[in-house]
Each structure stands twice: as structure tokens, then as C-alpha cells.
Structure 1
Amino acid sequence: MLTAIRKDGTIVHLLPRRSKELLKKEREKEEFFCPECREKVIMKVGTKKMEHFAHQQGSFCVESYEKETEYHLNGKLQLYQWLEKQQLAPYLEPFYSSIRQRPDIGVSCFDRNFAIEFQCANIPPELMVKRTNAYRTQNITPIWILGGKNIKRKGSGKVSLSNFDYLFLTRSPSGLWYLPAYCPESNIFILLTNISPVSSKNVLSEISIFPHQSFLIQYLIAPVKRNNTCTCHDWKREIRSHKSSLLLQGYYTNDVIKELYLQGMNISLLPAMIGLPVANAPIIETAPLVWQSYLFLDHIYRKKEGVITLEEIYRSFMKRVRKNQIKLRLLPLVRDCHPRKALLEYFHLLVRLQVLEAVNDTTFKIINEVKTPEHVLMQQEQEELFYRKFAHLFFK
């Protein structure tokens, strides 16, 4: 940490940075204490790591459990200076005694109070949920920024995100899903937008890189929607790859493969209407190909007619969740995060694909029986025809 208090209660910051000689002299004549737990802390002034305060070994303070790396300290310093250059008045490591929390930086702008947390090391999801909810009780909006080293690019528009990385996913007032990250080694912000999950980890996404001097705080609060560079070719390639990986898992280890087999189906022969992107798919951890396969089996397969309601869809979906066949994602930064949204989007997409007819906003009528291809060549021909006819509905 970069903030401590002296014996007389005055606050001492290690910003702006001072010479190591001056800091060593100050360390010799002063004692320093943690603003949160009031335990004595040590001013570390070395040659390998940026100067900082650290708890003594054996401390019980929550702050002492998260050892700050050089990467984190530099990132915190750079983010503080970045806010200063925007002519704001950031406060380094403010301590909110009412909730006993101390973000990396506090700042007020646009008539709102923000707590900025630059998180590089994995922390338990429950802790992030607790911190986020505590800030909100004080009318403070948390901005969580992921360490840029966590972003694992797998191509020009493909990223692998762990469950921890997904904790930083948020949604703008306009409904845009985005994930912000910062790399202090390259002095760049990384913004993932137009996030479309393909599997539980891999996503197709617009990856935008900004030098920190050209990036403004409002881009973290409400980023501008960017054109989706993902194409139907990209999506087809990823869905085919995911089908192959599921097939390799086999009948005995994969529930969806087993259930499709028992229904006389093969995952490689699924109709192209299964495994499509919808706006709120990030709410569901399970891959679109899998959760949409279950919806197909539960409500559409081998049916020539019938009426389906959203409540029926939701009940069958949650039954699968309870069986652990479908998993929901923990998204602590997103309010009103309900899987009904993704389910409703998918069934309205099936209406536009002429599979269903909308009776009203939450009730659907089967109008055509969906025929499954008999062999791989037929599936590929139907898939190509499907994307030529309907790709404009989900790839702008």
C-alpha cells in the first residue's frame, strides 16, 4: 500500500514520489500505521520494488493477505496520475470507515463517487461481491479494472477468460457488455466489447487498445459501442471446433452428448439454429451450443405443433441448472442479471428464423417441425444455406 498514518494521526502518502534517501531518513525518525487496522507497518524502500508500506509478518489485517506486486503498485500509481491529468482530484487509498474498505483510488466526477479497484491477483469471488455491495450501500460506484496480463488473446478477435476474469465483466447503461483492463508495463488500457461466449472460457470479442493518455474515465463508466468485427465465418469456425471438442469427451463423460445420443441425435448433426449468439449470453456460463441444445430437446425436437411459454422454458432451464447440466455465471458488477433475458432473446431469435411464431412477448407457437440432417454433408449444406439467409440477424 502507498498510504499510512503517523503516530499523530496525520496521513502520509508515497505520492508524489520522493528520493529514496529522503524516504529512508523519514523512516528512521517516524513510525507508521495501517489506516485500517492501526497495526504498525514498515516503509519498504528497496532497489527492486517500488517503495510501499507493508504489514509485519503475522498480521491479521485483511490488507496484509493481498501482497502487492510491483505490477500492482505501478498500475495503481499510473492510474492515479492518469486521473490527475484529466484534472480530477483522485484520492489515494481512501479508507471508508463505515464499511471498513479501502479501494486503490477514490474519485468524484459527473456528480458521482467512484471507488477504483485495480485487481491483478485472484481473490475469492465472495470477497469481490462483498466489496462491491458494500460500496453500493454508501452510494459509491465501484470500477473494477483487471490487470492487463490476465487478458489471454487467442487471435485477433478471440480471448480466453477464466471465471475470475469474468468477475470484471459489466454492462453499460445502454446494455453494452464490456470488460476493462490495464497494463502498467505497456501503459495501455484494454477494453473488450461485443463479447460473445463460444464456450465456457473462449469468447469472440472486439479488442480495443488505448494508450493511457488518450483514454478518459468516461470510457470506463459508459464506453461507446463499437462495430462488431465478428463474422458468421468466425462463429461457424468456433462452433464447429466446439462440437469437435465435445465429441472427443465422449458419451460417458459429457451429459449433453449422452442425452442427444439417447434421443437418436449426434451433436455434429445439430441444426444450425442451435449454438447462436444472443446479447445476454454472458449470464450463462455454459456454452450456447450446450444450453440451446437442451432447450431444443425440451421444447422443440420432434414437435410439429404446440405452444411454449417463457415460464415453461425457464422451469426446464432451471431444472437443468439444478442437475448441474447448465451453469450460471457469477457477475457481481451487473445488476438485474437474470437468465430469463438470454432465454427470451433466443426464442425471439427463433421467431425471426421462422422456426416459431410469437403469440405474444412471452408465448411462442411451433409452426414448423425442425428436421435434423441425416449426415455430415447434408448438415454442412443446410448450415451454409442457413447463414447465407439469416446471418444478418446476429452479425451486423
Structure 2
Amino acid sequence: MLTAIKQDGTWITLPEKMPANLLIRLRRSGKYYCPCCKTEMSIKAGSVKVPHFAHKNNHSCRTSSEPESEYHLKGKRKLFQWFSSHDYQVELEAYLPEIKKRADVLATIGGNRYAIEFQCSNIPEIEFIERTKAYRSIGIKPIWILAAKCLKRKNHHEFHLSAFHWLFVTGSCQHPFLWMFCPESNQLSVLKNLTPFSPRTVFAELTTAPLKLLPPHRLSPQKCSSFPFLPAWRHKRKNWCLHIVKRARRGDPFFEGLYLHHMAPATIPVEIGLPVSGMLLIKTASIEWQGWFYMDVFGKKKTGETIYMKDIIRHFRKHAKTGKIKFRTLPLLHVKPVEYPILQYLLLLEKMGYISKVAEGEFTVEKRMSVPSASEAGRMVERIFYHEHKWMIEKANVQYNQG
């Protein structure tokens, strides 16, 4: 902790650097107490350590149960200084007795209060959600910022996000993003245009700016005007179709379903596994949940027959109940119903001419999806498909990110 309460009830914040004479004077000037549990604290400082307060006795205080790294101490101090430099009302390590929580930084901007949490290590999902709900219960908007060092980047546009990292995603289904901060470089980064391929793999745009060039009121990134991931998406999908059988679990219900429908991963119709609006709500890979739609409904219909939305939703919920389709936990996101990405997929198929809407929740099959007889034939069909529909897919996903 960087703050404590003195014997006379006043607050003290330790400086960023602590000369030896100042350290001696502060240690002799009296006792210091934790704002949360009111127990005595001592000052820790040295040539390497960031000056901070620590409980003399490790006990049940929430702050002592989560040790703070140098990285975290530096990070929240710099975020505090950032808000302070723009003349906002701001408190470092503000204790909120009504919910018994301590925010890393508490800022008031335009009449709204914000709790800024700089998170450098994993905490249980239930704790993340509970803290978020607690802040909201007293009218404070939580802003969770992930430590930049936690981000795992595979290439220019491809990243790996764990279930814990997905908790930080905020914004909306049409414009989701994730904030990160590095106190060592003093740069704030945003991962936006989030387009998940699988539970952990996501295509996204990473932009970074020094804190000094970014005012706090800009804590909402510019919306996207392009969708640059389609070539990488196609490549990822082709690799999945060709190599997933090497990693497939025995008894996996999706692959059993493919077998029963006389399909192999390499011959899945190209129309299955498309990026669509809102699919970040679904943890299951798009190629799987769209594959279930084909096996349950579309693949059983002939041209001219009718598809009902209620049947699609019924199958979807059945698979969700049995765990074949799973959803993400997104406590910060302004979410839509989980059926939203299904509807967006149907709208894309409608634009491509596979179905036509005849009434609310009712579609007619205009043309069927073709199952290629061999992987080589599938690759040729894939090239033709994306040549015809590339612009349409990109446009749909630009609309998704523009909100």
C-alpha cells in the first residue's frame, strides 16, 4: 500500500523515492494504520523496493492477502498522477467503508465517480465480479486495467486471451475493447476490434500511446473503420480444418456429430466458421456453434423449405445445457442476448443468398451449402466463396465494430 492513516487521523502517501533521512524521520514520527482494518503498518523501503506500507502482522485484512508487486505499486501511482495532472478530483488507494473495498485510484470526472483497478495478477472470477458489483452498488463505475505484461501476442493481429483476461473486456458487443497499462514504459494500450476465433485465440488491433499524450476523458478508443483480419481468419480456419483431428479428444460430441452427418473437419462447408457480430458472447469456436446450426437445422432442409428461428434457438439452448456450446463471462460489457450472434449469422447468410426472410423468425432456404467430397475440392470452393463474399463479410464486421 502507498497510503496509510497517521495517529492523528490524517492520511499520508509515501513519495516515489525515499531518501534515508526522510525514511528515518517518518519511522520516528509515529505509528501508521491500515485504512481498511485499522491495524498497525510499517514502512518498507530500500534502494530497489518501491516505498510502501505493509501490515506488521499478516492477518485477515483483504489488502494483506493479496501481496503487491513493484510493478503494481508503480502502476497505480502513475495512473493516480495521470488523473491528477489533468486537475481531476482523485484519491490514491481510496477506502470505501460502505462496501469495505479499496480502489487503486478513485477519480471524479464530470460528476461521475470511477474506481480504477490496475490488475497485475489473476484473481478468482467470482472476486472480480463481486468487486465490480460492489462499486456499481454505490454508483461508482469500475474501470479495470490489465497489466500490459500479461498480454500474450502470437503475431501482428493474433493474441491469446485467457478466461480471466476476457473479464476485462468492456464497451459493447458492437465495439468491445480491453485496456492495458505498462508503468515501465508509461504507456496505455487498448486491444480493440476483438474478433475471437476460439476460446483463447482472438484477432484484434493493438494501439498504444504515452500517458502524457492521452487525456483521461479519452478512455474510450476510436471505433474501427476497417476489418483487416479476414486473410488471417481464413488461414486460421483452413489450418483448423486440416489439423484439428490430430488434437481432437476421443468422444468429442462435435466430431461425433460431423461423423454422423458424413463430414470430416476438412470438408466442413465453407459457410461454417464465419466472423459475425456479437460472437464474443460465445466461448465455443464459431466453426463449432455454426456447425451445430448446420447439423441441427440447415443441413436437413431442401431448397424452398422453411427454417424457424424458434427451432434454431431450441437446439442452441439444448447444446448450451449439455455443455456443447459455452458462453463467456463478460461482467463489464453491455451485452445483448446470447441469441444475438445467431441472428447476425442468419442475416449474413441472407445477404449471401442462402436464405430469405419471409416473416419474423421465419426463413426460406434459397440454396444449400455444399459439402465438398475432398479437401482439395474444399480449398477451391473456399477460394471462390471468399472471392465472391469478401466485401460482404468485411462490411458486416466493420458495422459490428462501429456499433
TMscore range, shorter length:
over 0.9
Deviation (angstroms), 1:245? 4.2
User: Does the 8 Å CA contact 1:194/1:228 hold for their aligned counterparts?
Assistant: no
Structure-1 residue corresponding to 2:143: 143
Q: Where does 1:199-238 land on structure 2 (aligned, <5 Å)?
A: 199-220=198-219, 222-238=220-236
Structure 2 counterpart of 1:247, from 245, 249, 262: 245
Structure 1 residues 145 and 360 mapped into 2: Cα distance closer, same or farther (>3 Å)? farther
Deviation (angstroms), 1:115? 0.6
| Cα deviation digits, residues 266-313 of structure 1 (max 9, x gap) | 111111111111121111111111111111111101311433333332
Structure 1 residues 110 and 245 mapped into 2: Cα distance closer, same or farther (>3 Å)? farther
Structure-2 residue corresponding to 1:53: 53
Structure 1 residues 94 and 369 mapped into 2: Cα distance closer, same or farther (>3 Å)? same
- What is the CA RMSD across the aligned residues, in angstroms? 1.8
Could you tell which deviates more after superposition, 329-338 or 245-254? 245-254
Structure 1 residues 19 and 309 mapped into 2: Cα distance closer, same or farther (>3 Å)? farther
Structure-1 residue corresponding to 2:361: 362
2:23 is the alignment partner of 1:23: yes
Deviation (angstroms), 1:58? 3.1
Structure-2 residue corresponding to 1:192: 191
Q: Where does 1:2-21 land on structure 2 (aligned, <5 Å)?
A: 2-15=2-15, 18-21=18-21
- Distance in 2 separating the partners of 1:190 and 1:22: 36
Deviation (angstroms), 1:100? 1.0
Letter in 2 for 1:65: S
Structure-2 residue corresponding to 1:308: 307
In structure 1, the residue corresponding to 2:263 is in which secondary structure? coil
User: Does the 8 Å CA contact 1:205/1:230 hold for their aligned counterparts?
Assistant: no
Could you tell which deviates more after superposition, 75-84 or 354-363? 354-363
- Distance in 1 separating the partners of 2:265 and 2:201: 19
User: Does the 8 Å CA contact 2:275/2:286 hold for their aligned counterparts?
Assistant: yes
User: Does the 8 Å CA contact 1:3/1:11 hold for their aligned counterparts?
Assistant: yes
In structure 2, the residue corresponding to 1:41 is in which secondary structure? strand
Deviation (angstroms), 1:47? 2.2
| Cα deviation digits, residues 43-89 of structure 1 (max 9, x gap) | 11122210111123431011111110001011111111111222323
Letter in 2 for 1:170: T
Q: Where does 1:1-396 land on structure 2 (aligned, <5 Å)?
A: 1-15=1-15, 18-172=18-172, 175-220=174-219, 222-250=220-248, 252-304=250-302, 305-396=304-395
Could you tell which deviates more after superposition, 307-316 or 135-144? 307-316
- Distance in 2 separating the partners of 1:68 and 1:147: 13
Structure 1 residues 83 and 379 mapped into 2: Cα distance closer, same or farther (>3 Å)? same
User: Does the 8 Å CA contact 1:302/1:370 hold for their aligned counterparts?
Assistant: no
The number of aligned residues is 394
User: Does the 8 Å CA contact 2:16/2:51 hold for their aligned counterparts?
Assistant: no
Structure 1 residues 57 and 243 mapped into 2: Cα distance closer, same or farther (>3 Å)? farther
In structure 1, the residue corresponding to 2:333 is in which secondary structure? coil
User: Does the 8 Å CA contact 1:157/1:205 hold for their aligned counterparts?
Assistant: yes
State the identity %.
Answer: 32
Could you tell which deviates more after superposition, 143-152 or 225-234? 225-234
TM-score for both structures, normalised by structure 1: 0.94
Letter in 1 for 2:204: S
Deviation (angstroms), 1:20? 4.2
User: Does the 8 Å CA contact 1:169/1:179 hold for their aligned counterparts?
Assistant: yes
Structure 1 residues 17 and 363 mapped into 2: Cα distance closer, same or farther (>3 Å)? farther
In structure 2, the residue corresponding to 1:106 is in which secondary structure? strand
User: Does the 8 Å CA contact 2:18/2:51 hold for their aligned counterparts?
Assistant: no
- Distance in 1 separating the partners of 2:257 and 2:168: 34
Deviation (angstroms), 1:124? 0.4
Ranges in structure 1 where 5+ consecutive residues have no aligned partner: none
Structure-1 residue corresponding to 2:399: none
Structure 1 residues 231 and 90 mapped into 2: Cα distance closer, same or farther (>3 Å)? same
Greater relative CO (CA pairs within 8 A, separation 6+)? 2
Letter in 2 for 1:395: E
| Cα deviation digits, residues 328-369 of structure 1 (max 9, x gap) | 100110133431111111111111121111234533222222
User: Does the 8 Å CA contact 1:190/1:207 hold for their aligned counterparts?
Assistant: yes
Ranges in structure 2 where 5+ consecutive residues have no aligned partner: 396-403
